[in-house]
Amino acid sequence: MAGSILVAYATKMGSAQEVAETVAGALRESGFSVEVAAAGKARDVGRYDAVVLGTGIRAGRVYSEAVKFAKANVSALVGKPVALFSVGMQMAEDTEANRAQAQAFLQPLVDDLRPAAVAMFGGRVDLKKAGLFWGAAYKMVARQKQGEGSQDPFADYRDWDAIKAWAAGLPEALGLGA
């Protein structure tokens, strides 16, 4: 095998996990041994040759599990190739303004991890997994956006081709030979 990679993720509704599994699949196709784990359950991070961390974004923040993972493992990640991705509805439309906003949301993780590769993908809201409070909040925002003529806030805005292409380029971006 070319090396081992941990793909850790922080998710509330499963979207970031699905992206993490897709990233892992592409890395396996490149010959890497890949483990996928929830950020809160990932252990012994230092044993991997590289780490990919993915997180959902809600209410302008990355999930706390991603921040805790970064802070708890920062010493093991120093000098190790790291990649970072986010999944969020602010990237439902890939505009310069939305990209700048998503980058600002990721900045605390970028500061801690100094990733070699960063990607921001559109997300998906699954009302069945959102919970009562967040489900109501999403519905309220959806009504406002529909009144403005915006896109369907409950569509799946993950671009699977872009996700797979980013994942396929990770070995080079991380300096790993396949």
Q: What is the pairing mode between strands 50-58 and 61-62?
A: antiparallel
The alpha carbon dihedral of 87, 93, 98, 99 has a sign of positive
Q: What share of the chain is helix, strand, coil (3-state, %, to 5)?
A: 50, 20, 30
Instruction: Write down the number of H helices and E strands in the chain.
Output: 5, 6
Q: Are 164 and 24 spatial neighbours (Cβ–Cβ below 8 Å)?
A: no
CA distance 178 to 171: 7
Min mean pLDDT across 3-7, 33-37, 128-132 is at 128-132
The overall average pLDDT reported for the chain is 85
Residue 48: closest CA among 24, 64, 67: 24
Q: What is the pLDDT of residue 141?
A: 60
Q: What is the pLDDT of residue 146?
A: 56
Written as six digits, the tokens of 47 are: 């044993």
Residues paired with 8 in a beta bridge: 37, 53
Min mean pLDDT across 90-99, 109-118, 163-172 is at 90-99
Helical H segments across 115-159, by residue range:
127-147
Q: What is the pLDDT of residue 1?
A: 44
Under 8 Å CB-to-CB from 18, ≥6 apart: which residues?
Answer: 158
The alpha carbon dihedral of 128, 131, 137, 140 has a sign of positive
Q: Does 116 score more than 90 pLDDT?
A: yes
DSSP 89: G
- Strand, coil or helix: 31: coil
- The domain defined by 4-173 folds into Rossmann fold (3.40.50)
| 72-90 confidence digits (pLDDT tens) | 999 999 889 999 999 987 7
Written as six digits, the tokens of 164 are: 């797979």
Q: Does 92 score more than 60 pLDDT?
A: yes
List the chain domain ranges. 4-173
